[in-house]
Amino acid sequence: MAHVTDFKEAGFDTLLEELEWRGLISQSTDRDRLAEALNGEPITYYCGFDPTAASLHIGNLVQLINMRHLQLAGHHPIALVGGATGLIGDPRQSGERTLNPKDVVAGWAERLKRQIGGILETEGANPVRFVSNYDWTAQMTVIDFLRDVGKNFRLGTMLAKDTVARRLNSEEGISFTEFSYQVLQGNDFLHLFDEYHCTLELGGSDQWGNLTSGLDLIHKVRGVDVNVFTSPIITDASGKKFGKSEGNAVWLDATMLSPYKFYQFWINRPDVEMENLLKAFTFLPKAEIERLVEESKTNPGKREAQKTLAWEVTSFVHGEEATQAAIDASGALFGRGGNLEDIDEAMLESVLDGFKVTDEQGNHVFPVAHPGDRVIDAAQAAGLFKSGSEARRAIKSGGVYLNNNRVDDEEQVLGEGDFLSGRFALIRRGKKALGAVETR
């Protein structure tokens, strides 16, 4: 796991001060009340994660980082994996969610628990507690739900929630199912307050309406003021929602997005994003972040800030061993150290995924090659050269490499031993242009 520290070691007087400096708080209940709660005796807090997909993504990572900051400060975390709310789905601004089968949601819930358990401490003096709202929601009858919970909600307040209001004014509208989501989430907070004296809920800024539902419910039925706060939606330098690329999320599950690709996502962030990303996504002390930001301005070619960011976030999510393996694989790929033969097949396939070419059907594939094929033909198939004569000239000038070994013979052919893991042969043009072919 990446380097982590508490707020005092990070250079702050209070936890709230650190979270605000890092840009991790967007909205909150009364600041003085929240500060007092966080500065006093340890409190119990929770954050909910609905299993609406097989993995969390980096938008959820912001919530996990907030949870980890509080856990390091001694507060007691509860991770609610929404076995019940995951069957419904919280209202989105874009339209109704697809309702997934119960067995699928249950399987996703288990995967999310494993991911969260790999990020938050699960052992020791202050481990995370896992709960599922299905355990208490499924026991309620419709009559119980309406009498004990629903009677405490006012329709005008529910209709005024931002996401609900937008959906009501949209062409599609909103179903009663998704409209009721805020009541279920409010009841979750009440249950956790009664069961564990949980007095703080965290969430994303798009969850503000749902969070305040629980706050209002507890105030009404228990006469107690609790707290909520949200983190902002992280955006890139252009203002686009961070982590979205052509509609694809940056997943935290290694089987859905390899540690190598995850690492590459972070190391390729531009200099202008470094300050916000280092603050929000790492646990580095303030002084170190300020040094890295200044270094990115005075010596951008060194890319120390990007390398540090990529290491910190990737090792936090996937562990140091997987992160180092991704770094080593990248270095070996371009002949900057390490042996290609040491890269296992799964890592090799992941690393090379970005070097596929488009076939006649529009699919992204590795070009097929076989032992006995000429290197220049394989290089053309991999998209490195437009013609054989161009490839020959590059070989004559010493600019073509097969598995990081210079190709000197224009008629050199691929041998069986040239296919790494029995599958891939790497061909490089110069220092940076890389292609790959696969034998099948």
Is 195 found in the same domain as 132? yes
> Tokens 């393996």 identify what position?
325
Q: 309 in a domain, yes or no? A: yes
DSSP-assigned states of every residue in 210-243: HHHHHHHHHHHHH----EEEEEPPPB-TTSPBTT
Residue 5 is predicted with a pLDDT of: 65
- Pairing type for strands 357-358 and 227-231 reads unpaired
Closest listed residue to residue 317, CA positions, set 54, 50, 61, 81: 61
pLDDT mean over 205-218: 91
Higher-confidence residue: 384 or 1? 384
**Segment 245-261, tens digit of pLDDT:** 545 679 999 988 889 88
Q: Which residue has the higher pLDDT, 438 or 333?
A: 438
pTM of the full structure: 0.86
Within this chain, do residues 222 and 293 fall inside the same structural domain, yes or no?
Answer: no
Tokens describing residue 390: 């161009």
Determine the pLDDT at residue 2. 55
pLDDT higher at 110 or 332: 110
**Quick check: is 179 in a domain?**
yes
CA distance 250 to 60: 10
Same domain (yes/no): 160, 65 = yes
Give the integer Cα–Cα distance in Å for 329 and 379. Answer: 21
Strands 364-365 and 357-358: antiparallel
Same-domain pairing of 69 and 211: yes
118: alpha, beta or left, given left = phi > 0 and alpha = psi -120 to 50?
A: alpha
Structural domains counted in the chain: 3
Which helix H or strand E contains 188, and what residues bound it?
helix 181-196
Q: β-strand 227-231 against 198-204: which pairing, if any?
A: parallel
Q: Looking at per-residue confidence, does 331 or 371 come out higher? A: 371
Task: Say what the pLDDT of residue 65 is.
Answer: 97
Q: Residue 61: which CATH number?
A: 3.40.50.620
Q: 15 and 117 in one domain?
A: yes
Residues 175 and 271 in one domain: no
Q: Is residue 103 part of a domain?
A: yes
Co-location of 107 and 160 in the same domain: yes
Residues recorded for the chain: 440
Which are the contacts of 340, defined by CB distance < 8 A and separation ≥ 6? 332, 333, 348, 403, 404, 420, 426
The pLDDT assigned to 376 comes to 94
59-69 pLDDT per residue, tens: 899 999 999 99
Average pLDDT over residues 167-182: 77
Taking CA atoms, 71 is separated from 5, 64, 199, in Å, by 11, 10, 15
Residues 313 and 2: beta-carbon distance below 8 Å: yes
**Which of 183, 213, 231 is the last residue before a domain boundary?**
231
End-to-end CA, the chain: 38
Residue 224 has pLDDT above 80, yes or no: yes
Highest mean pLDDT among 198-212, 306-320, 323-337: 306-320
Which comes out higher in pLDDT, residue 334 or 409?
409
Distance CA 86, CA 98 (A): 11
Out of 274, 306, 338, a domain closes at: 338
181 is in an annotated binding site: yes
Both 61 and 182 in a single domain? yes
Average pLDDT estimate for 346-371: 85
| 244 in any annotated domain | no
**pLDDT at residue 196, rounded to an integer:** 98
Q: What are all long-range contacts of 247-251, with beta carbons under 8 Å and residues at least 24 apart?
A: 249/53, 249/57, 249/58, 249/59, 250/57, 250/58, 251/55, 251/56, 251/57
In this structure, the answer to whether residues 48 and 179 fall within a common structural domain is: yes
| pLDDT one-digit tens code per residue, 257-279 | 889 889 999 999 999 999 999 99
Task: Give domain status of residue 351, yes or no.
Answer: no
- Read off the CATH number of the domain in which 273 is found: 1.10.240.10
The reply to whether 179 and 275 lie within a common domain is: no
27, containing H or E segment: strand 27-28
pLDDT in tens, 120-139: 999 999 999 999 999 999 89
Q: Give me the pLDDT at residue 361, please.
A: 80
Quote the domain boundaries for residue 311: 259-338
Going from the C-alpha of 410 to that of each of 55, 93, 144, 375, 425, the distances in angstroms are 48, 58, 80, 8, 17
d(CA 83, CA 138): 10
**What average pLDDT does range 387-399 have in this prediction?**
93
Statement to judge: residues 105 and 160 lie in one domain: yes
Domain boundary, last residue among 305, 338, 371: 338
CATH of the domain at 415: 3.10.290.10
Q: pLDDT tens-digit profile of 69-83?
A: 999 999 999 999 988
For residue 246, what pLDDT is reported? 46
Q: Let me know if residue 254 belongs to a domain.
A: no
Residue 389 lies in a domain: yes
Alpha helices (H) in 40-141, listed in sequence order: 58-72, 102-117, 134-137
Q: Is 46 annotated as a binding residue?
A: yes
Residue at 387 is within a domain = yes
Do 374 and 312 lie in one domain? The reply is no
